[in-house]
A = this chain, B = another copy of it.
Amino acid sequence: MNTHLDIAIVGCGLIGRKRATQLAGGRLVMACDLDRARADQLAALVPGCRATADLGDALRSSAQVVIVATANHALAPLALAAIQAGKHVLIEKPGAIRASELETLAAEAEARGVCVRIGYNHRFHPALRKARELIDGGAIGELMFLRGRYGHGGRLGYEKEWRADPKLSGGGELIDQGVHLIDLAQWFLGDFASVEGHATTSFWQMPVDDNAFLNLRTAAGQTAWLQVSCTEWKNLFSLEIYGRTGKLHIEGLGGSYGVERLSFYKMLPVMGPPETTIFEFPRGDDSWRLEMAEFLEDIRLHRTPRPGLREGLATLRVVETIYRTSGYL
């Protein structure tokens, strides 16, 4: 039973508020934001939750778990403070703006014996869970390669948002949506031994990338062929996974990305058109709740969260390689 764990949320914006409603039995005791009004607003949603603008206050609370849900640049420093205060921490993706920050967190977390999870919630989307289950059951055989495309079309003024300021965001589209694709790719294929590709700023008047193209390969030669874009005028999520005996295609994430669906193409020994079964998930996405439930279970079992600091670090190293290659770092 996880119901007794107390939770503090640091960063009370959109994501923080979303987390507050998806605590999977955890009890929200503190809402913390430099902007006290936002903290108050979030605290008002949950009986018994206090608001504060003072991180120390939050860390001195009864919370055993801290969720850090701020703009990218503040993620790692806040998480570090929480770890040093002995808290288990869920840090929103990408966890930090530089890989080296996650190394520091890893060392501290190990020293304190606390669990740290990175909030790559896409792993918990229903189509992706189903894909994982099919692959683990051998449905498409040994994996050969995958293709991922992910993007949105921005919005008026996008180039003026915090995401467009590298000091706050650490980068553009690649560190925003791209990290989800990298994380999913390594979930399915494992570690990448080779990183090629580039990022560009093609449209938005901003000093960070709006498109990135990634060619990642495992030691065994499996390719993750990924492209992310915030000039993807029609919102898109697509992940195609190829095994020796079939293909899985995940599309949509609900809402403006379209109904989430998984298409399963199964080759027959005689070859020809594959047997096709399509699973649709119109009931929405419970990824946030499931991710938190998994984290509470990690804590209960003293288990290393996956994706945790190790996976988050691998992802940020890919990002840094591309940014360095492309002149953004």
From A149, which residue of chain B is reached at the shortest CB distance? B147
A137 within 8 A of B: no
Spell out A's residues near B (CB within 8 Å).
144-145, 147, 149, 153-156, 196-198, 200, 202-203, 211, 213, 215, 217, 221, 223, 225, 227, 229, 231-235, 242, 244, 246-247, 256, 265, 267, 270-283
Would you give the shortest CB distance from A205 to chain B, in whole angstroms?
A: 12
Within 8 Å CB of A211, what residues of B?
144-145, 223
- A279 closest partner in B (C-beta): B277
Each complex incorporates copies of this chain amounting to 4
A225 near B213 with CB under 8 A, answer: yes
Rounded to whole Å, the gap between the CB of A73 and the closest CB of chain B is: 26
Decide if the interface of chain A is mainly helix, strand, loop or mixed. Answer: strand
Compute how far the CA of A155 lies from the CA of B270 in the bound complex, rounded to whole angstroms. 8
- Assess the A246–B273 pair: CB atoms within 8 A: no
Is the beta-carbon distance between A154 and B271 smaller than 8 angstroms? yes
Q: Known: A197-B215, A242-B233, A247-B234. Is A202-B145 also a contact (CB below 8 A)?
A: yes
User: Which chain B positions have C-beta within 8 A of A144?
Assistant: 202-203, 211, 231
Contact B242 A231 (CB under 8 A): yes
**Cβ-defined contact, A271 with B156, below 8 A:** yes
Question: Which 10 residue pairs of A and B lie closest in terms of their CB atoms, listed nearest first?
Answer: A276-B280, A278-B278, A273-B282, A144-B202, A233-B247, A234-B265, A233-B274, A233-B265, A273-B283, A156-B271
Contact A272 B155 (CB under 8 A): yes
Assess A276 versus B234: contact at CB under 8 Å? Given A147-B149, A227-B147.
yes
